[in-house]
């Protein structure tokens, strides 16, 4: 027999669970970015165990960015990491090898919400990236059934597409002089959430890679990017290889800061420890 008041207890519990599921089913990375909150993450270039996400979340990071452009990660590994990312409510960003329809569709359908797309040189390319990342009427993302991208929930198609469009976050990388020649046009593209640059590839394209003035030149391009992002309501994402550099990127206007990579952090920490242990 149902105890007095138990119906209300189950009702409250059901509402609590629904609220919790709604929270988990939202992209925390995108909502923080929209509020202008500073987020600190790191690159993952080598460690392919999904368990690295648990460790990095415990370290206090806000997100992790996994690299598929210069690293050996497979789609199967990314799928496992995306599933754990959602379960942990710890945002994962993926840089695909290219901003093509195939890569965008596969990654989003695998359950990845956040893409960091390299080598966007023209407004036409930016439009293509935005188009492939969102369903109609905002774009022409290929339709798929329920799966990891819907947390295996079957929803009415209009509800599904609207929710997916609202949760996807797209950052594009400007890595050439050609891209900066079209900076305002690229920054104005709807469906692009954030702008960044690739400092080494940009320096290479500008002919200053390895020269004494490399840092000065790249910083000038960073400032140009920040100004364009402000004009067009985009967020700014920058890479930093030190604590001081991270602070400078935030002062410059970045709200998404990727501090170093797990490879560099591990090597530097062990190298410093070994040197100290052997010190006589």
Could you give the residue numbers annotated as active site?
Answer: 70
Cα distances (Å, whole numbers) of residue 31 to 91, 109, 131, 178, 238: 11, 20, 21, 31, 18
How many C-beta atoms surround the C-beta of residue 132 within 10 A? 23
The whole-angstrom distance between residue 98's C-alpha and the CA centroid of its chain comes to 15
Nearest in space to 130 (alpha carbons), one of 143, 119, 121, 117: 117
Q: Are 37 and 255 in contact (CB under 8 A)?
A: yes
The whole-angstrom distance between residue 36's C-alpha and the CA centroid of its chain comes to 15
What is the rounded distance in angstroms from the CA atom of residue 71 to the CA atom of residue 190? 30
Handedness of CA 108, 163, 40, 174 (dihedral sign): positive
191 SS3 class? coil
């Amino acid at each position: 027999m149902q105890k007095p008041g138990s119906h209300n207890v189950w009702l409250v519990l059901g509402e609590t669970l629904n609220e919790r599921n709604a929270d988990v089913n939202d992209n925390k990375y995108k909502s923080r970015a929209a509020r202008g909150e500073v987020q600190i993450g790191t690159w993952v270039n080598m460690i392919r165990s999904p368990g690295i996400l648990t460790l990095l979340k415990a370290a206090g990071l806000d997100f992790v960015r996994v690299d598929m452009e210069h690293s050996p990660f497979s789609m199967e590994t990314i799928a496992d990491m995306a599933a754990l990312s959602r379960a942990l409510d710890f945002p994962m960003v993926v840089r695909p090898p290219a901003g093509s329809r195939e890569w965008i569709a596969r990654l989003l359908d695998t359950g990845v919400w956040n893409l960091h797309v390299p080598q966007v040189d023209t407004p036409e390319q930016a439009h293509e990236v935005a188009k492939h990342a969102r369903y109609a009427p905002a774009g022409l993302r290929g339709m798929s059934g329920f799966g990891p991208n819907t947390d295996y929930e079957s929803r009415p198609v209009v509800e599904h597409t609207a929710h997916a469009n609202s949760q996807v976050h797209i950052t594009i990388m400007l890595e050439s002089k050609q891209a900066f020649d079209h900076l305002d046009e690229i920054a104005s593209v709807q469906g692009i959430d954030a702008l960044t640059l690739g400092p080494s590839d940009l320096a290479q394209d500008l002919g200053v890679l390895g020269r004494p003035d490399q840092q000065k030149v790249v910083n000038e391009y960073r400032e140009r990017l920040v100004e364009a992002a402000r004009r067009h309501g985009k967020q700014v994402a920058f890479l930093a290889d030190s604590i001081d550099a991270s602070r400078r990127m935030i002062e410059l206007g970045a709200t998404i800061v990727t501090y170093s990579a797990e490879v560099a952090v591990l090597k530097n920490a062990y190298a410093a420890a070994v040197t100290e242990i052997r010190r006589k």
